[in-house]
Amino acid sequence: MRFSQYPINTTKETPAEAEVLSHQLMLRAGLIRRVAAGIYSWLPLGLRVVRKVEQIIREEMNRAGALEILMPAVQPGELWQESGRWSEYGPELLRFKDRHERDFVIGPTHEEVVTDIARRELRSYRQLPVNFYQIQTKFRDEVRPRFGVMRGREFIMKDAYSFHADEASMAAGYAAMRAAYARMFTRMQLNFRSVQADSGAIGGSSSEEFQVLADSGEDAIAVSDGDTYASNIELAAAMPPNQPRPAPTQPLEEVATPRMKTIAEVSEFLKVPREQCQKLLLVDGSDGGVVALVLRGDHELNALKAQKLPGVANPLRMASAAAIRAATGSEPGFLGPVGLKCPLYADHAALHMADFVCGANAPDLHLRGVNWGRDLPEPRAADLRNVVDGDPSPSGRGQLRIVRGIEVGHIFQLGRKYSQAMNATVLDESGQPVTMLMGCYGIGVTRIVAASIEQNHDERGIIWPAPLAPFHVVLIPLNLQKSPQVRAAADALYAELVAAGIEVLYDDRDARPGVKFADAELLGIPHRLVLGERGLEAGSCEYRHRRATDNTDVPLASVTAYIAQQLAG
Ligand code: ATP
Ligand code: MG
């Protein structure tokens, strides 16, 4: 492409509305333009990157045996009524009526439409398994669209849906998608982890997210520094300490702590670290009573873990003030495990404490020098907390680091949720109708463009990894307008590179070299060629990789071969 024919403006200034770097750079480089909150146009250079992402996804989906289809953005409300999601899906679902007053939605996802296709087309177990995928525009009326295309309202997704006759086939289909995702994200040169996720409301047995590691990510995840273990913080197991609990050294004593209700206040007032204090939370029991949960002062309760414990109400509910008073005789803020009559669980870390500080179950009083086994019975131990930085990895190798991630993909075993509601059956070997099992697999195509920039940039701009770059090479002639020799040589080199199948951005604009260099760096084209009069006389061209700091002189006659070699390597 000739830059002179490209009317898109780049800017030096950081746009005020962009909080994260990828958004700033995408606006500055003219990849996208905002149309409305969370709604963007893709300009030529940006669209070329989107197409590269899509191409890699297509190749790997096809290789995995999935079949590409294209479903409509506009979907009839009846399908959503049938699945039950018409009433379940909140305001993220954009609903409208057509001229006949019929309900429609703009698809945020396509389980309903694809299940409708499957129940019409698939008759026999012999036609299974099948995996239909599409790359298509979604609309979700997000509460807080932000970070540009990272969390847009309209965005491009690759969504795939597989149909199976039995659980084993669903698990195999899921495993195949998992492998395909790992190949795609590796080819895109993303630094990613696959993370065990909570399948939450959708149900189904298994679910994993693919997270691109980046400080601007919205999700906190726990990753091991010793292997590839990664987990949603909420799901990561906090391992019991592997040394024995220290022996008691202090006597038990009561201390006055007037109005000191929080761990922070108590630890400061008594001059003991927060890790030496305990906090006790009372939650509703499953039998109508209350259950006490004890945590180390600096740790956070994990509701998902707590609500799975025998005797604890699921979903987890904090006990009412009246129930707390009835069980402890005290107000919240001064609760502790000593003398408590209700069932009690101590987190492994709390169980490992000696000489600790806790509430005395009396107003304005705490206890210190408290020891399990001596001053109160040994409690039941449980994993009750969120993991923190430095915890041992549940994989047994390395320590956990809490890092941030951008979710670029999500795979699910859905089971029969939609096929049952929508009556999608096939005939089995004995001619009986059986409800199909489903998997679903999403990728945020446009989000990947932003995620890649989050991982690949410097102070001068974007640095595209070769497989996603809008162009392989930027060709910058110097003094083109004044030197017919340079123009002739640059035109010839451009033609030669293009003929060799190399994607070239030819900066033939009437602009100062400084402007061209700055734009080349902002746009992040991986390979740069500079052609000037002096080089021409010597029969050479200057080459530099976007990540390099030095130029290499390459003989003009072998530039194309040289670039081809760089691209292959
Ligand atoms: P999130 O937790 O980020 O809202 P999600 O769980 O709602 O994501 P899915 O329904 O699994 O997402 O959609 C599949 C993929 O689509 C996600 O992994 C993500 O990459 C992408 N995606 C989801 N919402 C958006 C959005 N608002 N803008 C851009 N991409 C999105
Ligand atoms: Mg979402």
Q: Give dist(CA 162, CA 174) in Å, integer.
A: 9
| Distances 291 to 240, 298, 318, 319, 373 between C-alpha atoms, Å | 21, 21, 10, 9, 20
Q: Span 284-293, mean pLDDT? A: 95
Q: What pLDDT shows up at residue 249?
A: 97
pLDDT digits (tens, 9 = 90+) for 393-437: 999 999 999 999 999 999 999 999 999 999 999 999 999 999 999
pLDDT digits (tens, 9 = 90+) for 145-182: 999 999 999 999 999 999 999 999 999 999 999 999 99
Ligand 2 mean position, distance from CA 21 (Å): 21
Q: Give dist(CA 53, CA 155) in Å, integer.
A: 14
Q: How confident is the model at residue 196 (pLDDT cuts 50, 70, 90)?
A: confident
With a CB cutoff of 8 Å and minimum separation 6, the contacts of 208 are 178, 194, 195, 196, 197, 410, 411
Ligand nearest to the CA of 181: 1
Beta bridge partners of 289: none
Number of alpha helices (DSSP H) and beta strands (DSSP E) in the chain = 16, 30
Say if ligand 1 is within 6 A of residue 140 CB.
yes
Say if ligand 1 is within 6 A of residue 157 CB.
yes
Residues written for the chain: 569
Pairing label, strands 154-164, 130-139: antiparallel
Residue 152 CA: nearest ligand 1 atom is 28
pLDDT digits (tens, 9 = 90+) for 90-145: 999 999 999 999 999 999 999 999 999 999 999 999 999 999 999 999 999 999 99
With a CB cutoff of 8 Å and minimum separation 6, the contacts of 246 are 354, 355
Look up residue 327 and give its amino acid.
A
* Per-residue pLDDT at 458 exceeds 60: yes
* CB neighbours of residue 228 within 10 Å: 10
Give nearest CA residue, ligand 1 atom 14: 442
Q: What pLDDT shows up at residue 204?
A: 44
* Per-residue pLDDT at 201 exceeds 80: no
Q: Which of 61-70, 193-202, 345-354 has the lowest mean pLDDT?
A: 193-202
Q: What pLDDT shows up at residue 289?
A: 93
Beta bridge partners of 34: 40
* Per-residue pLDDT at 215 exceeds 50: yes
Q: What pLDDT shows up at residue 555?
A: 97
With a CB cutoff of 8 Å and minimum separation 6, the contacts of 360 are 254, 330, 334, 336, 338, 366, 367
pLDDT digits (tens, 9 = 90+) for 290-343: 999 999 999 999 999 999 999 999 999 999 999 999 999 988 889 999 999 999
Q: What pLDDT shows up at residue 296?
A: 97
Q: Give dist(CA 84, CA 99) in Å, integer.
A: 24
Give nearest CA residue, ligand 1 atom 26: 151
* Per-residue pLDDT at 569 exceeds 50: yes
pLDDT digits (tens, 9 = 90+) for 238-281: 999 989 999 999 999 999 999 998 999 999 999 999 999 999 99
pLDDT digits (tens, 9 = 90+) for 35-81: 999 999 999 999 999 999 999 999 999 999 999 999 999 999 999 99
Ligand 2 mean position, distance from CA 108 (Å): 9
Ligand nearest to the CA of 406: 1
Q: What pLDDT shows up at residue 198?
A: 64
Ligand 2 mean position, distance from CA 161 (Å): 18
Express as a percent the part of the chain with pLDDT over 90: 94
Q: Tell me the residue ranges of DSSP E strands in 107-153.
A: 130-139
Torsion of CA 31, 36, 38, 41, to 10 degrees: -30
Residue 142 CA: nearest ligand 1 atom is 27
Say if ligand 1 is within 6 A of residue 147 CB.
no
Q: Span 448-476, mean pLDDT? A: 98
Q: How confident is the model at residue 459 (pLDDT cuts 50, 70, 90)?
A: very high
Residue 159 CA: nearest ligand 1 atom is 14
Q: How confident is the model at residue 197 (pLDDT cuts 50, 70, 90)?
A: confident
Which string of b and e fits 460-495 if b means at least 16 CB within 10 Å? ebbbbbeebbbbbbbbbbbebeebeebbebbbebbe
Q: What pLDDT shows up at residue 13?
A: 92
Say if ligand 1 is within 6 A of residue 217 CB.
no
Give nearest CA residue, ligand 1 atom 18: 409
Ligand 2 mean position, distance from CA 412 (Å): 14
Express as a percent the part of the chain with pLDDT over 70: 99
Structure token pair of residue 453: 């920039």
* Per-residue pLDDT at 202 exceeds 90: no
Give me the phi and psi of 331, to 5 degrees please: -85, 155
Q: Give dist(CA 475, CA 430) in Å, integer.
A: 66
Ligand nearest to the CA of 209: 1
* Per-residue pLDDT at 199 exceeds 60: no
| Distances 235 to 197, 313, 385, 396 between C-alpha atoms, Å | 7, 19, 10, 16
Residue 408 CA: nearest ligand 1 atom is 20
